[in-house]
Structure 1
Amino acid sequence: MNTLHSCLLVNHLWCEVSVRIFWKNIWNYRDSNFYTLIVCLPVESKEILSKNGIIISTSTSKPPMFNYASFCKVLSIDQVHYKLKQILRNQQSISLQNLKNNTYILEQELFKHFFSQGSLKILDLYRNFNFYPEAEECLKNLSELRCKSADLSSEILYQLSQTCHNILSLDLFVDQSTVDRVISKGLTDLISAQKNLKHLNIKCFYMEGGFEDVMSSLTNPNKITKLCLHSMFHCFSLSFIIEFTNLQELELKFNYNECFKDFEKLQYAFFPKLQILNI
């Protein structure tokens, strides 16, 4: 990262290339990146912050050299929440309730800015967010989604199913609360909407059913090349894996041997492209 910073100072071309790399992944953002993004917010957003008494001191008032938000391709909703909360806490003495409210207001304005400017490739979704109209265009080319569906509303999952149809890699954390609330609605809609899903990673804990619903919602199981299943307590039949005829990598991680139910049925299955088997 220090080398990348040095590249910014070489010339304009090196600066432009380096800026795009530096701003690509939000997990690499420092506090200074978020201060810059706040400076870049449109007037309407700054007025909303001002009306709610949210004053962020920044080191510069100069207009930005680049449209930094447009360079972001990897966005984590949770990371944005954490970093903004940290910035607000360090800026001023504030009550816990006001900190919660101000963090929500600030992050919503920042999300609107991201969605209106960029086109995301990877989204980490471990908390709800408001699905603004701008998000539809921003997320339509999403290729990788990592989410904990128990923490997401049915509405968010449904909106994603209507917008994202070309996800290549899907990483799901599914638990009992997911089964109770959204397993038959948004989550299955989202999975069934994918046309070219290649990698599927499911971690399921404390489930007493519903896993089969997730797997049956796959419209093209023969397109999956990497399948990873992790389960702590729930035992379920593995016979469905036979349908994944083009698997190149299969990973099964269960806490108990009893969880390998019907595993013997796979001994006669034919996976001509399988290269990695991790049990």
Structure 2
Amino acid sequence: MSTVTTSGTWPSLSTNPPNLEGLSTENVKWGIPAGGGGKSGYAFAGGTREVKLDGSEFTLGTFTHQNFPIQAMPQSQFQVDLAVRIRFEEDDTDRNFSFRFRHNETDNAGPTPDDEVDLPTRVSPETVTIDGEEYAVVITGFKQNGQIVTKFISPENGANSADIVAVLSRVGAPDVVIADVRYKGEVKRTQADEYVEIVNRGTAPADISGWVLGADDPGQDFPFPPGTVLQPGDRIRVYTNQVHPQWGGFSYGKGRPIWNDSGDTARLRDANGTIVSDYNYGTAATP
């Protein structure tokens, strides 16, 4: 475990918007206001936290999108670079890591006015050596409204924030685990909206073709189809009987609940049948 302190700045954009200010600071802004709310922009706020080297997720910092109506931009889609400095308190050293955010500035008056922010790649090109092992920082999502999501949805006329969730991961290897089980759905009787969430916390892609998600009961196995590859930081969900393309589109297609309401264990096995990840859920979970 390491104690780290993070801070960040925004050094560059892939476009040259009007009224650009704050480059290389923690708050970059752009655009000609179309109302009384001011410019749009990004802010980053770091902090001090404990970081484990076992793949546990931690908060890299808090991302805020100041999403106020602005006049049409030269480009509606562009990239914004983030530079994060991490100070490792044990040896009093600083390390710099960089990431690229992809911004979609939507039409303020359109049917979907909310802006969208995601990351085309989630692994820092820079690394750090700890106890003889080389690690990179992998962003695994934005924690928004209590859930970790891969795409940040930012409503108009406000400053919208989310924690950036990341891991320190060994360079050159995937790390696929079950991250969550929603075992009590809201759809009556069928609980079609149950799901299991799986994430690749590693720095390399993971081919999970032929892997099986299940609860070790008949009819509760889901084999992943050929060509299923999780990129670093990717999150997918396997729903009981719903299809959500933004989460990979995976579904058991069952008209009855899969996961025990009182609790159990979800298991992920590779193509050879070896257990890759266990996830105990609910009060009746096996220790």
Fold equivalence (TM over 0.5): no
Higher relative contact order (CA 8 A, sep 6+): 2
TM-score, scaled to structure 2: 0.27
Q: Which has the larger radius of gyration?
A: 1
TM-score, scaled to structure 1: 0.28
Higher strand residue share: 2
